Structure 1
Amino acid sequence: MPTAVQPTRWEEAVAGGTARDMWERYEPVHDLVYFAPEARQAADRLGMRGFWMGYFALRAAPLGAVSPAVVTSCFYVFHPARVARALPDAWGHADPADVLTARWEAMDAAMTRLFGPEAVGSAQFTEAADLAWEAACAADTPGRVLAAANQALERPERPAARLWQALTTLREHRGDGHVAALVGQGIGPVEAMVLKAAAGESDGAFLRETRKWEAEDWAAAGTALRERGLLADDGGLTPAGVAARAGVEAQTDEAAERPWTALGAQRTARLAGLLEPLARTVGDAGLLPAGNPVGLTGGRVAGR
């Protein structure tokens, strides 16, 4: 039987690069929309019922009042029933335009609280917002629905909201490319999560439960991956699984390079330096729960 490869070997298999380096710095800041209390409070004020209705409304709002099928396709890893419990009901509580305003206000408040008014009001913070906005505007969006929808939004006046929106456009740009890589490799939604858990990036039970898949779906995905020689009997990645997963990540990184090529090496490095303390602050605040779907906690925040 194939032997599983330890997670440390998986980490070694993923080559670094500008796109991945920048992702490790902007992802924690973007993730405030999921884990900061201000986001949940904003969703509650809009009348959203429960965390998941707020999550889907806040993230999908740039698309407009779209159907559950559209969001299920774009978000990729959620069971259709999970999405259908939130949408389209959410749009009966608040128009997408009002949701967009609420999420900008929530992120402005969260970043001001977390980083401090002095930091958010500094020239360096405005510089970071403007550099990130320029990179986001340079992102190539053909075939990337979530990135295109976010890129088309107006430029927020306040630097905190502007920085968060720019980083969100870049994050969804990378995410759209990641989904395309998975589809190209014939890796379905549940299989993608099983491989992610096997690589040691996230907790499998957490992924399955929060994305609302049944144990039978998870088991079937594991069987399919074992038949392809990607998953060992003990649930770890085989050497072929490491290679496949690393290949998807390499494609994701390569497809996410355009904004940084356009921004240029010197200004990209400057933005990285400005984002690093923000990412560390988010990590040190303990807002990203262990085993979360992002796969970016603890020592991996901003390269630690």
Structure 2
Amino acid sequence: MTSRAMWNAIETLHAGVYFAPDSKARYEAAGLKGYWMGYFASRSAALGTPGPALVVATFHGFAPRLVERAVPDAWRLAERDQVLEARYALARGLLDPISHGAAALAPRVRAVLNGVDWAGKPLAAAHADLPVSDDPVVDFWQAVTALREYRGDCHLAVLTAAGLDGAAANALASGTGWAWFADQRTMRGWTEQEWAQAIAGLVTRGWLNADGTGTETGIAARAQLEDATDRVVAAGLDREATSRLVTLEAELVALADDWAAAHPALAPSRTAHAR
């Protein structure tokens, strides 16, 4: 937000729900089947009960076939509100070691959302529009999540403006050291052929070598995409929201550090990802 450290803290505080050991079981208890159905349904539930095209469009980076195996079947198997409740329960449990700090910061983080321009940020706007939880710890996580998706929507706009589709965005992230996973291709559902085509296109641009590793130009270009994202993020925050984030930064970073210390296996290793 106001700095890359702020973004890293927000990502850390939000993203544990995707890696929690009991996430699959939680969503299966709500009626869903398998990890990916839980992931796509829970993250997209803020939008309502979306079909695969909307999820592909708003998430970016995932192969459509991976999404299509999860939605819309998810909404036949589980109620949207139950999916959201399972997601909140996961977040509440993960934040338990820092619950006092999270509850204390909840009103101030929530207040930031009043100064965000949601235009062109559909996933973030949907999360910001969800009912406010009576539990201040869950409310903290909800507000943090809206900010996380806000930067994500801004990043998606930058990637697409640069002509990077889902496969290319992931191949570039993987080749330049920005990917979350060692096998980003498999985790995002792309075939070997699709991945090879994405690399070939990036080789033509001079951003990747034929083996998929980043060139100096590509490494610089990927860093510039992050810088551009930061500028888009800043442009959508009014003066009051920016000031609130400046005053929150040190406390959020410290809280994220405490959370990561309590959950070392779940903390994100990167400050950005290919969405």
Shift of residue 263, structure 1, vs aligned partner:
2.8
Say which of 68, 72, 80 aligns to 1:96. 80
SS of the residue 1:133 aligns to: helix
1:194-205 correspondence runs (5 A): 194-202=171-179
Shift of residue 156, structure 1, vs aligned partner:
1.0
Question: Which position in structure 1 is the counterpart of 2:249?
Answer: 272
What TM-score does the superposition give when structure 2 sets the normalisation length?
0.90
1:212-223 correspondence runs (5 A): 212-223=189-200
Q: Distance in 2 between matches of 1:286 and 1:204?
A: 16
Shift of residue 189, structure 1, vs aligned partner:
1.0
Q: Which amino acid aligns with 1:162?
A: D
Deviations 1:79-118 (A, max 9, x none): 1110011111111122222222221122112211xx1xxx
SS of the residue 2:95 aligns to: helix
Report which stretch shifted further, 271-280 or 215-224.
Answer: 271-280
Q: Does 1:60 align with 2:35?
A: no
Asked if 1 retains the 8 angstrom alpha-carbon contact of 2:106 and 2:143, the reply is yes
Question: Which position in structure 1 is the counterpart of 2:260?
Answer: 283
Q: Does 1:41 align with 2:25?
A: yes
Q: Which amino acid aligns with 1:295?
A: R
Shift of residue 167, structure 1, vs aligned partner:
0.8
Question: Which position in structure 2 is the counterpart of 1:263?
Answer: 241
Shift of residue 260, structure 1, vs aligned partner:
7.4
Question: Which position in structure 2 is the counterpart of 1:155?
Answer: 132
Q: Distance in 1 between matches of 2:25 and 2:105?
A: 27
Asked if 1 retains the 8 angstrom alpha-carbon contact of 2:7 and 2:148, the reply is yes
Deviations 1:35-71 (A, max 9, x none): 1234333212101111101001110000111111110
Question: Which position in structure 2 is the counterpart of 1:75?
Answer: 59
Q: CA RMSD in A?
A: 2.2
SS of the residue 1:37 aligns to: coil
**C-alpha distance 283-93 of structure 1, shift in aligned 2 (>3 A):** same
Asked if 2 retains the 8 angstrom alpha-carbon contact of 1:232 and 1:238, the reply is yes
Q: Distance in 2 between matches of 1:135 and 1:155?
A: 14
Say which of 106, 119, 126 aligns to 1:129. 106
Question: Which position in structure 1 is the counterpart of 2:206?
Answer: 229
**C-alpha distance 200-79 of structure 1, shift in aligned 2 (>3 A):** same
Shift of residue 130, structure 1, vs aligned partner:
1.3
Shift of residue 262, structure 1, vs aligned partner:
2.6
Shift of residue 261, structure 1, vs aligned partner:
3.9
Question: Please, which runs of 5 or more residues in structure 2 have no aligned partner?
Answer: none
What percentage of residue pairs aligned between the two structures are identical?
35
Question: Which position in structure 1 is the counterpart of 2:92?
Answer: 108
**C-alpha distance 64-261 of structure 1, shift in aligned 2 (>3 A):** same
Shift of residue 280, structure 1, vs aligned partner:
1.8
Shift of residue 153, structure 1, vs aligned partner:
0.8
SS of the residue 2:105 aligns to: helix
Shift of residue 164, structure 1, vs aligned partner:
0.7
Residue-pair matches, total: 270
Asked if 1 retains the 8 angstrom alpha-carbon contact of 2:2 and 2:242, the reply is no
Asked if 2 retains the 8 angstrom alpha-carbon contact of 1:68 and 1:84, the reply is yes
Question: Which position in structure 1 is the counterpart of 2:223?
Answer: 246
Question: Please, which runs of 5 or more residues in structure 1 have no aligned partner?
Answer: 1-16, 298-304
Q: Which amino acid aligns with 1:23?
A: W
Q: Distance in 2 between matches of 1:20 and 1:223?
A: 31
SS of the residue 2:183 aligns to: helix
SS of the residue 1:157 aligns to: coil
Q: Does 1:23 align with 2:20?
A: no
**C-alpha distance 127-283 of structure 1, shift in aligned 2 (>3 A):** closer
What TM-score does the superposition give when structure 1 sets the normalisation length?
0.82
Question: Which position in structure 1 is the counterpart of 2:157?
Answer: 180
Q: Distance in 1 between matches of 2:181 and 2:105?
A: 35
Asked if 1 retains the 8 angstrom alpha-carbon contact of 2:4 and 2:271, the reply is no
SS of the residue 1:31 aligns to: helix
**C-alpha distance 40-275 of structure 1, shift in aligned 2 (>3 A):** farther
Q: Which amino acid aligns with 2:265?
A: L
